Structure 1
Amino acid sequence: MTAAAFAEISEVLADYFDGLHHCDVEKLASVFHPKALYATADETPLLHRTMDEYLPVVAARQSPASRGEPRRDHIDEIQLAGDNTAHARVRCSIGDRDFVDFLSLVRTDGQWRIIAKIFQIIERQA
């Protein structure tokens, strides 16, 4: 992986974490491709959303930052498949849930963006 690609993807992921922590839909819209997929098999039936469906959900929730929740975000790994395709495994927390996110990224028009977010929900014990 080139150092430049790693740095660019790391910046996208930092904005992703900030967007989630502050429920900042403008920031999230900047890191997600407009045609991105959002899905988890932890909901029944399978939860699948477009960005037009997902961003209003984020906008309607109280942000973890406003509740004083500590940040628990971490990049486990970033892998490049080539010049325009990458995968990141990241972790974060919202409320009493921890999340493991598999984020697929594409580089279009010179910019890395998340094209798919597939995630696992882990209920945190009190």
Structure 2
Amino acid sequence: MPTSQDTDVSALRALAQTYFDAAYEMDAEKFASIFHPSSSVTKVAENGTLSVTPIANWLAAVRSAKAPQQQGSQREDQILLIDAESDLALVKVKLRVPPRSFTDLLSCLKVNGSWKIAQKVMTSNA
């Protein structure tokens, strides 16, 4: 019989798969379905400072980005870690959106029974 931990891990795997699909298709609505509306995206900017972008602004940028799928790029996505405890989880993923590879830490919270990304912290390299 599956435990609530098993159920959470399955739900978080599904969230990660939606995340990968959204990135491959550059589908802002698909991303919006798994991010909490008050979430943000955090990274180190090119000038070395901390950059925090509200999710609405990040989704606007996604809408104007070229989708790897449209460019015929091979998918390269991988779940590196899922760590869940109660209503808190960390999902570490690696994916490729040419010309860059990204490692993202997705801090997730179970809100009203559904897992949502509360914060995305990311880094990338060419």
> Is this a same-fold pair by TM over 0.5?
yes
Given candidates 77, 84, 89, the residue that maps to 1:73 is: 77
Q: Are 1:97 and 2:100 an aligned pair? A: yes
The number of equivalent residue pairs is 122
Q: Structure 2-normalised TM-score?
A: 0.92
Q: Are 1:63 and 2:67 an aligned pair? A: yes
1:1-126 matches, cutoff 5 A: 2-44=5-47, 45-80=49-84, 82-123=85-126
Cα pair 1:42 1:121 within 8 Å, conserved: no
Letter in 2 for 1:35: S
Letter in 1 for 2:43: T
Cα pair 1:87 1:105 within 8 Å, conserved: yes
Q: Provide the rounded CA distance (Å) in 1 between the counterparts of 2:51 and 2:72.
A: 28
Letter in 2 for 1:71: R
Extract unaligned runs of 5+ from structure 1.
none
Structure 1 runs of 4+ off > 4 angstroms? none
Identical pairs, percent: 26
Q: Provide the rounded CA distance (Å) in 2 between the counterparts of 1:118 and 1:93.
A: 16
Q: Structure 1-normalised TM-score?
A: 0.92
Cα pair 1:76 1:90 within 8 Å, conserved: yes
Extract unaligned runs of 5+ from structure 2.
none
Q: Provide the rounded CA distance (Å) in 2 between the counterparts of 1:40 and 1:51.
A: 13
Q: Provide the rounded CA distance (Å) in 2 between the counterparts of 1:4 and 1:42.
A: 36
Q: Provide the rounded CA distance (Å) in 2 between the counterparts of 1:7 and 1:98.
A: 25
Q: Provide the rounded CA distance (Å) in 2 between the counterparts of 1:47 and 1:17.
A: 23
Q: Provide the rounded CA distance (Å) in 2 between the counterparts of 1:55 and 1:2.
A: 30
Shift of 1:42: 4.4
Shift of 1:84: 0.5
Q: Provide the rounded CA distance (Å) in 1 between the counterparts of 2:88 and 2:55.
A: 20
Q: Provide the rounded CA distance (Å) in 2 between the counterparts of 1:18 and 1:60.
A: 17
